[in-house]
Amino acid sequence: MEGKKPNFQSQVEKGVHALLQVIEKRKESKKESLLQEDHMVNLQFTLKKVSKQQKIIKLKLPNGLTEEHKDVCLFVKDMDKKDREYEKSVRDVKTVLKSKGISCVSEIIPLKALKLEHKPFEAKRNLSNRFDVFLADARIIRLLPSYLGKAFFGRKRLPVQVRMDAKDLKAEFEAAINNSRCVFSGKGPVGMATVGSTRMSAAELVQNIVTSAEQLVAAVPGGMENIRNIHIKTPDSMAIPVYTSLGSANDVKLPRTEKQREPVAADEVTTVENARVKVYPSGIVKLVDESGKALEKPKKLKKAVKRAGKRGAKRPLGKAKQKATVKANKRQKPQGKKRKVK
């Protein structure tokens, strides 16, 4: 947010001051007397244009989110896949964590335990509600969507990846727990990331919010022009605006995410001098010269180019074409005379 940082920071300072005042008033009321003293502060932003690309943005916070009462769950790889018992995997991981001085993990769940004991949807939902943070071994992170399902990924309770073979394992765990991230699902314009808590001072909150906003703007498809507004809020408070843009969505240019299909290598043609046939994955066949420039295709070469295209493309026929081919073959087959039944 270069060029707008001083103004944006002053707006954030006003927003944080207003948010803290709202929380203090709610604490003084009788209805809110039983609530926890600490509230997580979220940064909520709205895009002008939604990119279909799913993306996870990691946010490095100047002031960490560490809390003494935070419950952390760790998903790990099975040490022995053949053994039905998974307690050995739990003991081995506990030994490793203790030797590295890591005491923040409340529970360790191997992949086999996740499969056997948390298979029903109700069990998965209860698990997602039990812990504040979920960590996962980098070696099994790709397998978790099928094991956890909507109870986690539908509610954006995605596990944070940690490398169990890292040289400084304690620093790896601290970075995963203290920092934050934002998930772009590609299905809606609103995104949210946790950037602090009310136990922090106002200056620390402002620093975290400004730093997080800068990182989000740099990673969001379309950049600063694609940000409609930014709010700060707690899970149960009103959203306080700190930035608003009146620009049109037509001015936003999103980067292309679709990969361009490259044509296959050009094949030689013996019927035309200094010419080659280039077959594209879409099935299009073009006659080109040695430099790759397209040439006009003579009528007498249509059949030759068509044959070359079939050899190069090797694309299966669609259902409609398959049915048409079957019907055409049936028409061509000579049918015998039907015998009259007396």
SS (H, E, C) the chain: CCCCHHHHHHHHHHHHHHHHHHHHHHHHCCCCCCCCCCCEEEEEEEECCCCCCCEEEEECCCCCCCCCCCCEEEEECCCCCCCCCCHHHHHHHHHHHHHCCCCCCCEEEEHHHHHHHCCCHHHHHHHHHHCCEEEEECCCCCCHHHHHCHHHHCCCCCCEEECCCCCCHHHHHHHHHHCEEEEECCCCCEEEEEEEECCCCHHHHHHHHHHHHHHHHHHCCCHHHHEEEEEEECCCCCCEEEEECCCCHHHCCCCCCCCCCCCCCCEECCCCCCEEEEECCCCCEEEEECCCCECCCCHHHHHHHHHHHHHHHCCCCCHHHHHHHHHHHHHHCCCCCCCCCC
**What pLDDT is attached to residue 339?**
56
Q: Distance between CA 139 and CA 151 in Å, rounded?
A: 22
Q: What does each C-alpha distance from 298 to 203, 223, 302, 304 come to in angstroms?
A: 75, 49, 7, 10
Q: Give Cα 268 distance to the centre of its chain.
A: 44
pTM: 0.61
| Per-residue pLDDT at 306 | 59
- Could you tell me the two tokens for 54? 């799913």
C-alpha distances in Å from residue 148, one per residue of 58, 111, 144, 304: 21, 11, 6, 54
Least Cα distance to 189 among 99, 278, 100, 254 occurs for 254
| pLDDT value at residue 260 | 45
pLDDT tens per residue, the chain (342 residues)? 655 555 888 999 999 999 988 888 877 765 555 445 677 889 998 888 887 777 778 888 888 876 655 788 999 988 877 777 788 888 889 999 999 888 888 899 998 888 888 888 888 888 888 888 889 898 888 888 888 888 787 776 788 888 988 888 888 888 888 888 887 777 788 888 889 888 888 999 999 999 999 999 888 888 888 899 999 998 888 899 999 988 888 888 877 755 544 445 555 555 566 666 666 655 566 767 766 677 665 555 555 555 555 554 444 555 555 666 666 666 555 555 555 555
Query: HSE of 337 in the Cβ direction (CA atoms, 13 Å)?
Result: 3
> What pLDDT, on a 0 to 100 scale, did the predictor assign at position 49?
86
- Pairing between strand 72-76 and 40-47? unpaired
What is the distance between the alpha carbons of residues 258 and 51, in angstroms, rounded to a whole number?
12
Which residues have CB under 8 Å from 189's CB, separation 6+? 46, 47, 48, 49, 50, 228
- pLDDT at residue 298 in the model: 54
Q: Are 39 and 235 in contact (CB under 8 A)?
A: yes
Give the pLDDT of residue 263.
47
Radius of gyration in angstroms for the set of CA atoms belonging to the chain, rounded to a whole number: 30
CA atoms within 13 A on the CB side of 94: 11
